[in-house]
Chains A and B, each alone.
Chain A
Amino acid sequence: MTTVEDATRTAAVDHRPRRHWLDSGRSRLTAYLFVAPVGLGLLVFYLYPAVATFVLSFTEWGPFGGNTFTGLSNYTTVFALDTFWTALGNTVLYMLIGLAVVPVAIAIAVLLNREGLRGVAVYRALYFIPFVTLPVASGMVWKWLYNGDYGLINAFLSVFGIPGTYWVANPGTALLAIGVVQVWSQVGYYLIIFIAGIKAIPRDYLEAAELDGAGPLRRLFSITLPLLSPSIFFCTVISVINTLQIFDLIYVMAQSSTANPAFNATQSVVTLFYQMAFVENTKGTATAVAFVLMVLIAALTAIQFWLQRKWVSYV
């Protein structure tokens, strides 16, 4: 006996299109052709180098090529280097300073989302400009701003009688100074994401909360932030991945040509990699460093994905 319910179910199955249009041989080929450039690019420029790096990290490279298999010796060399651990410690500091971009961007996004604020587009563009500027260019400009003798920052501080320093040459301040520029240059990107995230929060929730007597701060912490948590999660993951690979700002501001006493204090894992690979030409140990960094990034990202279950709310 067939019930009505069963009948409709059968009908539904029957009416479902049997084959998606892409399933026909010709269209499938077309689809793959469209994906091919990107796929090829990923293969040639990402996957192949990553695998090659992994393989090379077990070899020793001559300055002009010609590699010999040396097993794990590159890794033992790297782990025995003081400079590697210093660079790793510095990189973690860069990462922590870099994470400041998340609260800063949220604060600005909340301010820009206020009712009746005029010229939001202009502000958004202003905050976004540093992000689309070449890091080398902004690094150069900040290097001049930070200059101990001629820099605008010290000139400004001296107005208030505050003694400045050689910001990017003083081992005590250089890392922080570079980290601040990193945050400044990235904030526009995260800002856009947070503005979009806030806009996606239904007004009803906020209005309902307001009717229930929640003040602006309570609304921020109980409605906006929890609903923004998927964006916050995305941004922390991206920020951690980016700042662990910090290179150009350090290279331009603290490590270009002249001898800088803050060289060791600003060294990151990637600048160490660059120095090993392209200055000292020990490409074997350099690839080991690169691989350790890749594992570190993968691990930190995995941990974040595991932790997100505890605090990210997908409504």
Chain B
Amino acid sequence: MRRRSFLSACALTPVAATLGCTSSEPDRGSGGRARISYGVWDQLQVPAMRTVVEEFTAEHPEIEVDIQVTPFATYWTRLQTSITGGGAPDVFWMNGPNIRKFAAYGTLLPLGERLAAAGEDLAAHPPDLVELYRYQGEQYGVPKDYDCISLYYNKELFDAAGVPYPDETWTWDTVRQALPELRNRERNQYGISSAIDRQRNLYPTIFQNEGWVVRDGRSGFADPATIGGLEYWTELIEADLAPNAMATADTDGRSLFLGGNVAMYHGLPNDAAAAYEEPAVRERTGITVLPRGRVRGNVIHGLANVVNARTPHPDAAFELVRFMAGRRVGEIQGASGSALPSYRGTESEYLASKPEFRLQSFIDQVDDATAYPVSLNTNTWENLQYQILGEAWIGAGGLSVAEACRRLAQEMDTVLAEEPR
């Protein structure tokens, strides 16, 4: 290539790139097939989602589905931008903290009428979850999987300390009595992880103490019952029976558990995959229900499939969501062992995927569970939690948790007051 033509080619490159971006026709494959995209964030679940899509296209050869994986860290930013600017997936995963915001701004296709017309009543999914994806009387999402929290424990550390394994008889007091035995300063070993982790630690103990997080546009953090639920953790830190938030910020609870540095931690169903991977860890890990506080308590959350309100193919997109609400998809997800399916009765496949673990504990606790607390701008006050509670989680000399909770409640109320009713 001569130098001049090379240089003019260089000069034209940006122009060409701009021109290349302008084709934004809705994709229609050959022969009138509808082509829709499905947005997900969890790489671990992609194989199961592929199988689902394969079976779906076998049933609906006229619809083609592309799976788009975006890492969770950027999933929501990207989704919000692409919904505004175009190019968002037709069907995508939704979670509790975001559903109301997306629904309130009309970005999601209402599914109620279509579900009714298709005779789909979602009765096979946990009612708390179906409710989570309902906003102002309209159904926007169809549950896909669910999770609540169980107690993971390290049998070797319990054996070494001569403490019997935790089971359904355990209460907060049993935990408090066992922790000094499980503490080993030389090994930097603690009995339990007390990380500031709302879903694994904070919400379950708040609910076990009959506390609450958000209700009728008010924060529950100033309620003594809520504070009591959090004091369970901070008292353990002050007594040096659990690592403080500085330690768990450096190394999270799950890693401390996998590394044998904590004897117990509150874990999600997905956490079982990491514990199952390494044979030595698999061998020494046990799973049981959470210890009881004032009452049994837990938090239930789950993902749902939703449809983009601006999809050019609402019918095809709904077909996919409807297919995913069925038993077969529950079985595929369960068998993959990567998610606990929300379709009742398909959990058995999930349980069989890791027979050494008592995964039944998760299912047993659904009745104890409270729905994951959300409002319209959930993310905003969720971020306040970590920022304000952090200083109460560093042990002696820090802020008292009661004081931190009152501050949190005040700031959270300000956020909630700005939400449109």
A131 at interface by CB-CB < 8 Å: no
Q: Which of A267-308 contact B (CB under 8 A)?
A: 275, 278-282
A261 at interface by CB-CB < 8 Å: yes
Closest chain A CB from B221 CB (angstroms): 15
Please tell me if the beta carbons of A259 and B105 are within 8 angstroms of each other in the complex.
no
A65 at interface by CB-CB < 8 Å: yes
**CA A168 – CA B107 in complex, angstroms?**
39
Q: Which of A60-88 contact B (CB under 8 A)?
A: 62-65
Q: Name which residue of chain A comes closest to B418, CB basis.
A: A282
Please tell me if the beta carbons of A261 and B246 are within 8 angstroms of each other in the complex.
yes
A169 at interface by CB-CB < 8 Å: yes
Q: Which residues of A contact B261 (CB under 8 A)?
A: 149
Q: Which residues of B contact A151 (CB under 8 A)?
A: 250
Please tell me if the beta carbons of A261 and B390 are within 8 angstroms of each other in the complex.
yes
Please tell me if the beta carbons of B251 and A150 are within 8 angstroms of each other in the complex.
yes
**CA A40 – CA B10 in complex, angstroms?**
14
**CA A237 – CA B188 in complex, angstroms?**
46
**CA A148 – CA B389 in complex, angstroms?**
21
Q: Name which residue of chain B comes closest to A41, CB basis.
A: B14
Q: Which residues of A contact B413 (CB under 8 A)?
A: none
Closest chain A CB from B190 CB (angstroms): 11
- With A260-B245, A263-B386, A263-B387 in contact, is A64–B83 under 8 Å at CB? yes
**CA A150 – CA B256 in complex, angstroms?**
11
Residue of A148, A258, A282 ringed by the most chain B CB atoms within 10 A: A258
Residues 370-393 of B, flagged 1 when their CB comes within 8 A of A and 0 if not, give 000000010110010111011101
Chain A interface residue count, Cβ-Cβ cutoff 8 angstroms: 36
A36 at interface by CB-CB < 8 Å: yes
Q: Name which residue of chain B comes closest to A62, CB basis.
A: B105
- With A37-B14, A259-B389 in contact, is A169–B383 under 8 Å at CB? no
**CA A151 – CA B83 in complex, angstroms?**
42
Please tell me if the beta carbons of A259 and B390 are within 8 angstroms of each other in the complex.
yes
- The dominant DSSP class at the A interface is loop
Please tell me if the beta carbons of B10 and A37 are within 8 angstroms of each other in the complex.
yes
Q: Name which residue of chain A comes closest to B376, CB basis.
A: A63
Q: Out of B11, B197, B248, name the residue touching A34 (CB < 8 Å).
A: B11
- With A64-B84, A281-B379 in contact, is A260–B390 under 8 Å at CB? yes
Please tell me if the beta carbons of B84 and A168 are within 8 angstroms of each other in the complex.
no
B122 at interface by CB-CB < 8 Å: no
Closest chain A CB from B141 CB (angstroms): 17
Contact surface of B with A, Cβ cutoff 8 Å: 7-8, 10-11, 13-14, 73, 77, 80, 83-84, 101, 105, 107, 188, 195-197, 244-252, 261, 377, 379-380, 383, 385-387, 389-391, 393-394, 398
Contact surface of A with B, Cβ cutoff 8 Å: 33-34, 36-37, 40-41, 62-65, 146-151, 165-166, 168-171, 257-264, 275, 278-282
Question: What are 27 A-B contacts with C-beta separation under 8 Å?
Answer: A33-B8, A41-B14, A62-B105, A63-B80, A147-B251, A148-B247, A166-B246, A166-B249, A169-B247, A169-B249, A258-B195, A258-B249, A259-B249, A259-B385, A259-B389, A259-B393, A260-B245, A260-B386, A261-B245, A261-B246, A261-B249, A261-B398, A263-B390, A264-B387, A264-B390, A275-B383, A282-B380
Q: Can you add 18 more A-B contacts, CB < 8 Å, to A33-B8, A262-B249?
A: A34-B7, A64-B80, A148-B250, A149-B188, A149-B250, A166-B247, A169-B246, A169-B249, A170-B246, A258-B195, A259-B197, A259-B248, A259-B389, A261-B246, A261-B390, A261-B393, A262-B390, A279-B383
